[in-house]
């Protein structure tokens, strides 16, 4: 299954999991999908210098025109400062939501990570969480989330 016309916000712990996420976003099943949660690291660093309001503004902009939010769950995702904001904003806009565990994917040094907690807001809202298996399954999970949200 290839996602062609769907804009998806990818929420993840940048410092710990960008290597894992890059493995996923470069898959042919996902390439046609606009991964809206990706920002250049320098943009995040600049926004951090300006404060929380600027970061929230970047998140809001990245969520525009998205229909699904994928929360990639690594070892430290649940403790990220803006994870709840991203989930709350996604719910408010009516995005489909899905959690995908990625701790078992290798980082740049070839290491896997320990399983992380599911962010509490995903559990509270009954958002399904799956272990990442492959691009086809991820594409199917994104489509399921979109349909459940009526998108």
Please report which residue ranges of the chain form alpha helices under DSSP H.
14-25, 28-31, 41-50, 52-63, 83-92, 120-124, 135-148
- The residue ranges of the chain whose pLDDT is under 70 are 1-5, 27-45
Each residue's pLDDT tens digit, 39-69: 555 556 677 788 899 889 989 988 998 899 9
d(CA 31, CA 74): 22
**pLDDT reported for residue 51:** 87
Domains of the chain (ranges; CATH) run: 7-148 (3.40.50.11200)
**pLDDT reported for residue 22:** 85
**pLDDT reported for residue 62:** 87
């Amino acid at each position: 299954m290839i996602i062609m016309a769907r804009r998806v916000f990818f929420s993840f712990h940048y410092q710990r999991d960008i290597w894992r996420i890059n493995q996923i976003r470069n898959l042919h099943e996902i390439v046609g999908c606009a991964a809206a949660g990706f920002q250049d690291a320098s943009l995040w660093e600049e926004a951090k210098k300006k404060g929380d309001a600027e970061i929230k503004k970047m998140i809001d902009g990245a969520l525009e025109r998205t229909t699904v939010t994928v929360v990639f769950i690594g070892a430290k995702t649940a403790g990220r400062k803006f994870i709840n904001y991203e989930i709350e904003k996604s719910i408010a806009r009516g995005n489909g939501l899905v959690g995908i565990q990625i701790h078992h994917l290798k980082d740049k040094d070839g290491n896997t990570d320990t399983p992380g907690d599911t962010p509490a807001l995903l559990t509270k809202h009954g958002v399904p969480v799956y272990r990442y298996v492959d691009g086809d399954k991820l594409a199917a999970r994104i489509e399921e989330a979109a349909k459940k949200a009526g998108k």
